[in-house]
Amino acid sequence: MDLHNAHWGKTIFWGVATAALYTAMFSYSDLVLHLAHTTPDVCIVDRGGTFLYYHKADAAACSALNGHIEPGVWWHVLIPILLAFAISIVHGAFTGLFWEAMGLKPASHAEARK
Q: Give the residue from 57, 56, 53 showing the smallest Cα distance to 35.
A: 53
What pLDDT does 104 receive? 80
pTM reported for the whole predicted model: 0.75
Within-domain flag for 97: yes
**pLDDT tens, per residue, the chain with 114 residues:** 455 556 888 999 999 999 999 999 999 999 999 999 999 999 999 999 889 999 998 999 999 999 999 999 999 999 989 999 999 999 999 999 998 888 787 777 666 666
Within-domain flag for 114: no
Whether 1 and 27 map to the same domain: the answer is: yes
Within-domain flag for 109: no
Strands (E), 1-98: 42-47, 50-55, 68-70
Number of domains in the chain: 2
Within-domain flag for 113: no
Within-domain flag for 2: yes
